Amino acid sequence: MTIAHDGTAFDWTGRTVLVTGAEGFIGSTLVDLLVARGARVRAFVHYKPYAEKGHLKRYLADGTGEVEMWAGDVRDAGRVSDAVAGCDTVFHLAALIGIPYSYDSPGAYVQTNVTGTQNVAEACRRWGVRRLVHTSTSEVYGTALTAPISETHPLQPQSPYSASKIGADMMALSFHHAFELPVAVVRPFNTYGPRQSARAVIPTILAQLHAGVREIRLGSLTPTRDFTYVTDTAEGFLAVAACDRALGEVVNLGTGQEISIGDLAAALIAASGREASVVTDPARLRPSGSEVERLLSDNSRALAWASWAPRVPLAEGLRRTSDWVATHPHLFAPARYQV
Ligand SMILES: NC(=O)c1ccc[n+]([C@@H]2O[C@H](COP(=O)([O-])OP(=O)(O)OC[C@H]3O[C@@H](n4cnc5c(N)ncnc54)[C@H](O)[C@@H]3O)[C@@H](O)[C@H]2O)c1
Instruction: For 179-226, write each residue's pLDDT tens digit.
Output: 999 999 999 999 999 999 988 999 999 999 999 999 999 999 999 999
Helix and strand numbers, DSSP H then E, in the chain:
12, 15
Closest CA to 23 of 70, 63, 75: 70
Q: Ligand 1 test: best mutation among 26, 47, 84, most atoms within 8 Å of CB?
A: 26
The pTM for the full model equals 0.96
Alpha-carbon span 211 to 233, nearest angstrom: 28
pLDDT given for residue 63 in this prediction: 64
SS3 61: helix
Closest CA to 132 of 37, 20, 229, 36: 20
Site residues for ligand 1, CB cut-off 6 Å: 21, 23-27, 46, 54, 73-75, 93-97, 112, 116, 135, 137, 165, 188, 190-191, 197
pLDDT single digits (tens) 106-160? 999 999 999 999 999 999 999 999 999 999 999 999 999 999 999 999 999 999 9
pLDDT band, very low/low/confident/very high, at 31 (cuts 50, 70, 90): very high
| Closest residue to atom 39 of ligand 1, CA basis | 24
The mean pLDDT value of the chain amounts to 93
Which atom of ligand 1 sits closest to the CA of residue 27? 16
Please say if 161 is a catalytic residue: yes
pLDDT given for residue 126 in this prediction: 98
pLDDT band, very low/low/confident/very high, at 330 (cuts 50, 70, 90): confident
| Closest residue to atom 41 of ligand 1, CA basis | 93
CB 228 within 8 A of CB 208: no
- Looking at the DSSP bridge assignments, the partners of residue 135 are 186
Q: What phi and psi, each to the nearest 5 degrees, are found at residue 295?
A: -130, 120
CB 5 within 8 A of CB 305: yes
pLDDT given for residue 3 in this prediction: 61
* CATH for 2-196+229-256+295-312 (3.40.50.720, 3.40.50.620, 3.30.565.10, 3.40.50.1820): 3.40.50.720
